Structure 1
Amino acid sequence: MHIVFLSNEYPLEGVIHGGVGTFLKLLCPELARRGHEVTVLGLGDVSQTRSVTVEGVKVITIPFSKTPKVKALFNFKKINNALEEIHRQLKIDVVEGPEMSFSFIRKIPGVTYLIRMNGGHHFFSEAEKRRVDRWKAYQEKRSFENADAVCGVSNYVIEHTKNYIDFSEKQGPVIFNPANFTNFYKADPEKAVSGRLFFAGTICEKKGVRQIIKAFHQVKRKFPHTELYLAGRDWTYPDGSSYTEKIKEIIEEDIKSSIHFLGVLPNLDVPQWIESSEICVYPSHMEAMPLAWIEVMSMGKPFVATKIGPAFELVDDGVSGLLADPLDHDELASKIMEILSDEALKVRLGENAREKVLKEFSLETIADQSIAYYSKLVQNKQN
Structure 2
Amino acid sequence: MHICFLTNEYPKKGFPHGGIGSFVQTLGRTLVQQGIEVSVVGLNYTPNDEHQLLDGVNVYRLKKSKVKGLAWFFNSKAINRKIATIHKQQPIDIAEGAELSLAFIKKVKNIKYIIRLHGGHHFFAEAENRGINTWKGFQEKRSFQKADAFIAVSQYVKTHTEKYLSYHNKPIVYLNNPVDTDFFRPIDKVVSELENKIVFVGTVCEKKGVRQLIQSFPLVKNEIPKTTLEIYGRDWLFPDGSSYIQMLKETELPQLGKTAKDIHFHGAIPFTEITEVYAKAAVCVFPSHMETFGLVALEAMAMQKAVVFTNKGPGSEIIMDGKTGFLCNPNNPSAIAEKIIWALSHKSEARQIGIKARKEVLNNFNVKILIQKNIQFYSKIISGKN
* TM-score, normalised relative to structure 1: 0.95
Q: 1:107, 1:242 → 2: CA distance? A: 39
The answer as to 2:273 corresponding to 1:269 is: yes
Show the counterpart of 1:311.
315
AA at the equivalent of 2:375: I
Show the counterpart of 1:366.
370
Give 1:121-160 correspondences, 5 Å limit. Answer: 121-160=121-160
Show the counterpart of 1:230.
231
Q: C-alpha displacement at 1:239, in angstroms?
A: 2.3
Unmatched 5+ stretches in structure 2: none
1:26-54 CA-to-partner distances (Å, cap 9, x unmatched) read 11121112111111111224555322222
Show the counterpart of 1:377.
381
Q: C-alpha displacement at 1:290, in angstroms?
A: 1.2
Is the Cα–Cα contact under 8 Å of residues 103 and 146 in structure 1 kept in the other structure? yes
Show the counterpart of 1:297.
301
Q: 1:256, 1:91 → 2: CA distance? A: 56
Show the counterpart of 1:330.
334
1:322-346 CA-to-partner distances (Å, cap 9, x unmatched) read 1111101111111111222223421
Q: 1:371 to 1:323 in 2, by over 3 A?
A: same
Q: 1:198 to 1:89 in 2, by over 3 A?
A: same
Q: 2:178, 2:232 → 1: CA distance? A: 22
1:142-185 CA-to-partner distances (Å, cap 9, x unmatched) read 00001111111111111111010011512421111111223322
Show the counterpart of 2:203.
202
Show the counterpart of 1:353.
357
AA at the equivalent of 1:365: I
AA at the equivalent of 1:373: F
Show the counterpart of 1:64.
64
Q: 1:283, 1:189 → 2: CA distance? A: 25
Matched position secondary structure for 2:190: helix
Show the counterpart of 2:246.
245
Q: 2:10, 2:167 → 1: CA distance? A: 27
Q: C-alpha displacement at 1:259, in angstroms?
A: 1.4
The answer as to 2:263 corresponding to 1:259 is: yes
Matched position secondary structure for 1:220: helix
Q: C-alpha displacement at 1:348, in angstroms?
A: 2.2
Matched position secondary structure for 2:41: strand
Range that drifts further, 241-250 or 273-282: 241-250
* TM-score, normalised relative to structure 2: 0.94
Q: 1:104, 1:258 → 2: CA distance? A: 47
Q: 1:159 to 1:285 in 2, by over 3 A?
A: same
Superposed CA RMSD:
1.7
Q: 1:225, 1:142 → 2: CA distance? A: 53
AA at the equivalent of 1:134: T
Give 1:280-295 correspondences, 5 Å limit. Answer: 280-295=284-299
Q: 1:346 to 1:331 in 2, by over 3 A?
A: same
Show the counterpart of 1:75.
75
Q: 1:343, 1:54 → 2: CA distance? A: 40
Q: 2:352, 2:41 → 1: CA distance? A: 43
The answer as to 2:103 corresponding to 1:99 is: no
Is the Cα–Cα contact under 8 Å of residues 100 and 140 in structure 1 kept in the other structure? yes
Matched position secondary structure for 1:169: coil
The answer as to 2:40 corresponding to 1:40 is: yes
Q: How many residues are matched?
A: 382
Q: 1:261, 1:136 → 2: CA distance? A: 32
Is the Cα–Cα contact under 8 Å of residues 98 and 115 in structure 1 kept in the other structure? yes
Matched position secondary structure for 1:190: coil
Q: 1:294, 1:192 → 2: CA distance? A: 24
Show the counterpart of 1:178.
178
AA at the equivalent of 2:82: A
Q: 1:78, 1:167 → 2: CA distance? A: 27
Is the Cα–Cα contact under 8 Å of residues 192 and 276 in structure 1 kept in the other structure? no
Q: 2:335, 2:15 → 1: CA distance? A: 38
AA at the equivalent of 2:180: N
Q: 1:327, 1:244 → 2: CA distance? A: 19
Q: C-alpha displacement at 1:306, in angstroms?
A: 1.1
